[in-house]
Amino acid sequence: MELKRVVVTGLGALTPLGNDVKSYWNGLINGVSGAGPITHFDAEKFKTRFACELKDFNPLDHIDRKEARKMDPYTQYAMVACEEAIKDSGLDLEAIDCDRAGVIWGSGIGGIYTFFHEVMNFSSGDGTPRFNPFFIPKMIADIASGMISMKYGFRGPNFTTVAACASSTNAIIEAYMYIQLGKVDVMITGGSEASVNEAGIGGFNALKALSTRNDSPEAASRPFDQERDGFVLGEGAGTIILEEYEHAVKRGATIYAELVGGGAAADAHHITAPHPEGLGAKLVMKNALRDANLKPEDIDYINVHGTSTPLGDIAEIKAIQDVYGDHAYNMNISSTKSMTGHLLGAAGAVEAIASILAVKEGIIPPTINHSTNDESIDSKLNLTLNKAQKREIKAAMSNTFGFGGHNASVIFKKI
């Protein structure tokens, strides 16, 4: 069968660099760090006392107080980012066929804030089971997609993908395939995460996954740098409106880029560590290129997973060099996690937005905080260090890799 073309017609972002797409993008291209001391709770006794939190965000500016009380922060973030994306898309919700419009969302953890606080309240009491009646609906990882569909009346496919840090990239791929196959016309997709809390910071500290650079948090996320010591936890949401090409053209939509390919693969190696030779990373990039019917030399930019961990950064670079060969030296590579921190299940969505805007605007966001070369990483590669770079981008790839060996990549093309 002939596959449908899929395009991006709306974007929404709620990130540590800004609470909308414009401020997020401006933060990226200006090399702003979103990291700072934790304000959500008293982190004095934690090994890591900083994170990339949202700034000046009040859910009640967007959501009715009664409704907000029914939502974990990760769902609140999702609702806010979706509201911006729907508005940006110009979709007339009265005119489209809502039976052919759906929501596929991604979250690695879901309502960990709610779970932690409900359990803490129970454990500090007299043993009488007093739980919030919304405890379960607030906590479950699929509730954001359900809430989004209820708000906009989308009755098409509706579910959540959970693949750790690859969750929202998998959501984008699933939404893309539903449109490709002609099953729907419009999909809301993306992801959200709200893990900057005692359980999130404490859990990742126990894994020794987080940077402990408490004296200079703004410089802690430093992918590819010799002195990197772990990732910086972030929070927020990213939303992408995907639409069948002819459907978008017919209504006169503004098109940001075309989504032309997606790939998924597994490391089948370790619960948290990447395969040292990047086998899953290589496979997923090859799968995405094959799906897009593109050659390695067609890609101008890769927004890498690049978390700022000692093992992960090297494994990904090895994989890129194996897949792209000599062309690896002609591309731009950058990690926007150097600025946003790691948004876990929302990372794929916010980084896909960065890739889409890079294609549209012809600007590569930088990898900030680089000061010392790692001898294990080829210094001839263009890692877009410390400053944004301008270039025409015909196609960009966005990589996300998650605990459990989950790998997902998507490719956006200029239209």
Per DSSP, the three-state class of 128 is coil
Question: Exactly one of 52, 82, 165, 275 is catalytic; which is it?
Answer: 165
CA distance 410 to 150: 28
Domains of the chain: 7-415 (3.40.47.10)
CB 130 within 8 A of CB 117: no
Half-sphere exposure (CA, 13 Å, Cβ side) for 407?
Answer: 29
Question: Exactly one of 117, 247, 275, 305 is catalytic; which is it?
Answer: 305
Report how far apart, in Å, the C-alpha atoms of 193 and of each of 38, 77, 398 are. 16, 8, 19
CB 170 within 8 A of CB 106: yes
305 is catalytic: yes
342 is catalytic: yes
Question: Exactly one of 117, 247, 342, 406 is catalytic; which is it?
Answer: 342
One pLDDT digit (tens) per residue for the chain, 415 residues: 799 999 999 999 999 999 999 999 999 999 999 999 999 999 999 999 999 999 999 999 999 999 999 999 999 999 999 999 999 999 999 999 999 999 999 999 999 999 999 999 999 999 999 999 999 999 999 999 999 999 999 999 999 999 999 999 999 999 999 999 999 999 999 999 999 999 999 999 999 999 999 999 999 999 999 999 999 999 999 999 999 999 999 999 999 999 999 999 999 999 999 998 889 999 999 999 999 999 999 999 999 999 999 999 999 999 999 999 999 999 999 999 999 999 999 999 999 999 999 999 999 999 999 999 999 999 999 999 999 999 999 999 999 999 999 999 999 999 9
Tell me how crowded residue 390 is: count the other CB atoms within 10 A of its CB: 10
CB 314 within 8 A of CB 274: no
| Bridge partners of residue 192, in order along the sequence | 237
